[in-house]
Amino acid sequence: MRSLLRSIAGFVLLALGAVFGMPVAFGAVLTTETPVTMWDKVDARLSRATPCAQILFRGFKTWCMQHLKGINLQLLDIADLTGFTNPLDGVVRVYAVYVKKQNTGTDAFFKIFDNATNDATVADARVGIALLDANQEQILIFPDGLALAAGVVIGAYTAFIGANATTASTAGDGPNGFMLVG
């Protein structure tokens, strides 16, 4: 229902912008899926992950089904992350993150920002994950969700304090993986 209302609101904003000749720009909105579909996607993405990662996500799936009543979530893919990207605007919760460093020894630091547009404010950083070794996996699980009020901005940087004032990871150095948001 919420996705339908957001889609209708987005259509109305675009139509008003077209009628009055005003540009309307906004990020993507949350589009959740049923648990069966979403968990099938998670299993597919973890098919080459370590058994530890697979077991942790299996346990988190059980948690979601029992305690969050099979909550509908959206899977956001992360691929060769370098500077910041803004996959979602608006109020969201991050429930899980799986990132795997590519086959390089260059340090990369994955970060999540609570911001609707960019990584310009270090104070908006909510999570930082160090990826220091080639092919290193990192997993974060937030059983009740990490609340973000403005939106999700993610990025990979060459220093832990990374934001737009520091150097973004170059192609091939940033992580791949996914996030579960709701």
Look over the chain and give the mean of its residue pLDDT values, rounded to a whole number. 82
- The yes-or-no verdict on residue 180 having pLDDT over 50 is yes
- Model pTM? 0.80
Q: Calculate mean pLDDT across residues 110-116.
A: 92
Which pLDDT belongs to residue 164?
61
Distances (CA, A) of 11 to 22, 23, 25, 26, 178: 14, 13, 12, 12, 28
- The yes-or-no verdict on residue 85 having pLDDT over 60 is yes
Which pLDDT belongs to residue 24?
29
Which residue(s) pair with 88 in the sheet?
A: 152
In degrees and rounded to multiples of 5, residue 75 shows phi and psi of -95, 125
Which pLDDT belongs to residue 133?
94
C-alpha of 100 from chain center: 14
Which pLDDT belongs to residue 163?
63
130: its two tokens: 């160090």
Q: Calculate mean pLDDT across residues 30-41.
A: 87
Residue 32 pLDDT grade (very low, low, confident, very high; cuts 50, 70, 90) = confident
- The yes-or-no verdict on residue 102 having pLDDT over 80 is yes
148-170, pLDDT tens digit by residue? 999 999 999 888 876 665 788 88
Three-state helix/strand/coil letters over 88-143: EECCEEEEEEEEECCCCCCCEEEEEEECCCCCCCHHHEEEEEEECCCCCEEEEEEE
Q: Calculate mean pLDDT across residues 62-85.
A: 89
Element (H, E) at 40: helix 35-45
Element (H, E) at 176: strand 176-181
- Contact present, 179 and 75 (Cβ < 8 Å): yes
The 176-181 sheet, strands edge to edge: 74-78, 176-181, 92-100, 137-148
Longest Cα–Cα distance in the chain: 55
Percent of the chain with pLDDT over 70: 81
Which residue(s) pair with 128 in the sheet?
A: 111
Q: What angle do CA 136, 131, 177 make, to 5 degrees?
A: 65
Which pLDDT belongs to residue 162?
61
38-73, pLDDT tens digit by residue? 999 999 999 999 999 999 999 999 999 999 887 899
More confident: 101 or 12:
101
Q: Hey, how many other C-beta atoms are within 10 angstroms of the C-beta on 93?
A: 17
